[in-house]
């Protein structure tokens, strides 16, 4: 099978082109460092199956960061039939160095000048024929976002692929890659093939940034935007969640129960009370998760997250982090795993480890489900978004405390160089693609971890046979009573304790576990929990859920990225200790103040 590699600097639209060519759902975002692992897809091209690989962003072949080294290792250890070099048409004075280096090393490639729509708006005129002659690669203008020039580029890719031969990146000789030589050749190319206006102006971007990057207004605006996002999640998402819950309940009562009525009670309970109720309770939150990721896609693809990193850089540096660490934290809102993998862009090991230490405290989408469930069940509708937003703020507080305490052990020796891209309005195709990518990952986890989790919870709550469900005589009751002395000071009862234990595998299991433990789903489950605990216990439970041990996948990724069992174990122990101290302190302090009043 032939192999094509997409190569280019960060933020050139490689992943957008990857999605357009393959129909895959690679993550696309308008800030550097998104593609941090090797995404691949098999496509039919030039009459045969071809493996298309989206490599991490790389500035040049002299780079020292881990993701740049990964690209060089991949190209040297794997035979590549063709490289597609993707460059930003509006920044060709800096973007063509990689093409010059690859041609010097005799790598087969085609050069696609992406974002041609932006270049035209800026008054940039590009002579692709001259570039082709001077670099030695077939060169084409393209807008992967809108499809402009895509058909012509696709045909040239097919033509070039038919005559290309598999090649590996040979030992890089410094004489080919001396920066001064590359700069001299680039100056010659730009001089004879590109006409640029005397002053390039992003008028709209500059006007927006006057407010968004204002020294005093910038951060309040950022937090206001995030609060509005959570408010919208409730306003739009809760009615949709209720509709899905109603539909699932109807399926349970009108279809599933009559269909299984003749089965033995134990089997019927296992299927309905165990598997269906657990999965249905989790599935009812899918509309909210979709809305969350669609909104995050708009914020990311617009270019605003780079601004957030810029705004937070000074504050983060005080704690031994930088703006990129903040971007990784925001990426962790979706899932901690890709955020941890994103630390490959950091050359300083100290900065990388400190960033990895704080990423698991990001309010990921799995925790979001738990918090929404608890806020709907225990808090009034008018303050529920504020409660959810407080969890978001608390995640940052925990990050700041952790980073400040450990910055002496993991020192940062790397300065931040961050490019602010112009604001871009994401297309509907990009937004839908991002939403589908995230929800497909959620459904994958649902069919894997959540199903296994709810089955295990059912067994614990029903075994040994003959005892009352989830009673103190059941296996779950034994575990809950055993853990009670530890978590009771935080106001967390045995039922919630069992859910937390299974949440260690995956946080998505927590809600499904509660449905199985209480033998209820939907509104009935919320009412049942509200009758057993008050809002103080619920908030303490939410604090513990936010801070304590991340899921197994996150731990495994941390171990792989840090290459240190000691570091992963230390992170695990610290999160457990901090979660217990935070939730217990809140619960005990509130009870003490309430008693005085």
What is the CB neighbour count within 10 angstroms for residue 439? 18
Task: Of 175-179, 197-201, 291-295, 466-470, give the lowest mean pLDDT range.
Answer: 175-179
- The per-residue pLDDT for range 140-199, each reduced to its tens digit, is 999 998 899 999 999 999 999 888 888 888 765 554 555 667 777 788 888 888 887 766
- Strand-pairing partners, residue 40, are 53
Give the pLDDT of residue 61.
81
pLDDT at 50 over 80: yes
Q: Are strands 39-45 and 48-54 parallel, antiparallel or unpaired?
A: antiparallel
Concatenating the DSSP letter of every residue in 422-465 gives PP----HHHHHHHHHHHHHHHHHHIIIIIHHHHHHHHHHHH-ST
- The per-residue pLDDT for range 321-333, each reduced to its tens digit, is 888 888 888 878 8
Give the pLDDT of residue 200.
62
Query: What is the Cα–Cα distance from 449 to 445, expressed in whole angstroms?
Result: 6
- Residue 193 vs residue 265, higher pLDDT: 193
pLDDT at 83 over 90: yes
- The per-residue pLDDT for range 98-132, each reduced to its tens digit, is 898 888 888 999 999 999 998 888 889 999 999 99
For 313-324, b where at least 16 C-beta lie within 10 A, e where not — what string?
beebbebbbbbb
- Residue 132 vs residue 59, higher pLDDT: 132
CA–CA distance from 280 to each of 252, 371, 508, 555 (Å)? Answer: 9, 17, 12, 27
Q: Work out the percent of the chain whose per-residue pLDDT is above 70.
A: 90
What crossing angle do the helices spanning 97-104 and 128-135 adopt, rounded to 10°?
A: 40
- The per-residue pLDDT for range 481-535, each reduced to its tens digit, is 888 889 999 999 988 998 898 888 778 788 888 888 887 777 888 888 999 999 9
- The per-residue pLDDT for range 211-260, each reduced to its tens digit, is 888 888 888 888 888 788 777 877 887 788 888 888 988 998 899 988 88
- The per-residue pLDDT for range 383-400, each reduced to its tens digit, is 888 898 899 899 999 999
Question: Domain segments of the chain: what residues?
Answer: 2-195, 220-412+432-596
CB 96 within 8 Å of CB 186: yes
- The per-residue pLDDT for range 541-552, each reduced to its tens digit, is 999 999 998 888
pLDDT bracket for residue 31 (50, 70, 90): very low
The one-character DSSP state at 172 is: P
Q: Which of 285, 293, 232 has the alpha carbon at shortest distance from 512? A: 285
Select the CATH number that applies to the domain covering 2-195 from these four: 3.40.50.720, 3.40.50.300, 2.60.120.10, 3.30.870.10: 3.40.50.300
Q: Which of 437, 441, 511, 435 has the alpha carbon at shortest distance from 282? A: 511
Give the pLDDT of residue 26.
52
């Amino acid at each position: 099978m032939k192999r094509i590699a997409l190569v280019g600097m960060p933020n050139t639209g490689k992943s957008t082109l990857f999605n357009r060519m393959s129909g895959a759902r690679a993550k696309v975002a308008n800030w550097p460092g998104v593609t941090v692992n090797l995404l691949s897809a098999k496509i039919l091209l030039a009459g045969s199956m071809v493996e298309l690989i989206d490599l991490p962003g790389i500035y040049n072949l002299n780079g020292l960061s881990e993701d740049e080294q990964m690209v060089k290792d991949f190209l040297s250890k794997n035979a590549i039939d063709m490289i597609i070099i993707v460059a930003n048409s509006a920044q060709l004075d800096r973007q063509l160095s990689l093409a010059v280096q690859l041609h010097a090393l005799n790598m087969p490639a085609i050069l696609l000048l992406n974002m041609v729509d932006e270049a035209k708006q800026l008054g940039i005129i590009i002579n692709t024929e001259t570039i082709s002659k001077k670099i030695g690669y077939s060169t084409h203008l393209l807008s992967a976002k809108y499809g402009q020039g895509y058909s012509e580029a696709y045909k040239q890719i097919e033509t070039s692929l038919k005559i290309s031969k598999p090649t590996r990146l040979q030992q890089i000789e410094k004489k080919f890659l001396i920066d001064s030589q590359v700069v001299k050749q680039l100056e010659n190319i730009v001089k004879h093939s590109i006409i640029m206006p005397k002053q390039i102006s992003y008028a709209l971007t500059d006007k927006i940034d006057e407010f968004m990057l204002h020294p005093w207004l910038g951060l309040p605006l950022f937090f206001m935007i995030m609060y509005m996002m959570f408010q919208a999640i409730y306003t739009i998402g809760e009615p949709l969640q209720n509709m899905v819950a109603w539909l699932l309940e109807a399926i349970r009562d009108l279809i599933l129960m009559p269909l299984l009525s003749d089965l033995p009670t134990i089997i019927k309970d296992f299927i309905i009370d165990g598997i269906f109720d657990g999965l249905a309770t989790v599935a009812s939150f899918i509309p909210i998760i979709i809305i969350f990721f669609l909104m995050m896609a708009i914020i990311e693809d617009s270019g605003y997250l780079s601004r957030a990193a810029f705004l937070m850089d000074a504050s983060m540096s005080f704690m031994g982090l930088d703006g990129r660490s903040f971007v990784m934290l925001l990426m962790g809102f979706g899932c901690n795993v890709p955020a941890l993998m994103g630390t490959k862009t950091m050359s300083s090991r100290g900065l990388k480890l400190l960033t990895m230490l704080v990423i698991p405290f990001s309010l990921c989408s799995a925790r979001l489900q738990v918090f929404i469930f608890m806020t709907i069940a225990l808090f009034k509708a008018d303050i529920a978004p504020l409660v959810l937003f407080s969890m978001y703020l608390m995640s940052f507080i925990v990050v700041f405390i952790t980073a400040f305490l450990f910055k002496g052990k993991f020192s940062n020796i790397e300065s931040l160089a961050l490019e602010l891209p112009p604001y871009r309005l994401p297309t509907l195709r990009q937004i839908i693609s991002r939403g589908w990518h995230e929800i497909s990952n959620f459904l994958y986890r649902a069919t894997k971890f959540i199903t296994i989790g709810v089955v295990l919870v059912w067994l614990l709550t029903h075994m040994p046979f003959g005892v009352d469900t989830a009673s103190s005589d059941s296996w779950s009751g034994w575990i809950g009573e055993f853990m009670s002395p530890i978590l009771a000071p935080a106001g967390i009862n045995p039922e919630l304790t069992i859910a937390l234990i299974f949440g260690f595998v995956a946080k998505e299991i927590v809600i499904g576990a509660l449905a199985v433990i209480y033998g209820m789903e939907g509104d009935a489950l919320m009412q049942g929990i509200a009758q057993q605990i008050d809002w103080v216990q619920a908030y303490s439970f939410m604090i513990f859920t936010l801070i304590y041990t991340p899921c197994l996948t996150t731990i495994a990724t941390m171990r792989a990225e840090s290459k240190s069992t000691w570091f992963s174990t230390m992170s695990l122990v610290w999160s457990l200790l901090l979660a217990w101290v935070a939730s217990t302190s809140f619960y005990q302090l509130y009870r003490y103040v309430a008693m005085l009043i």
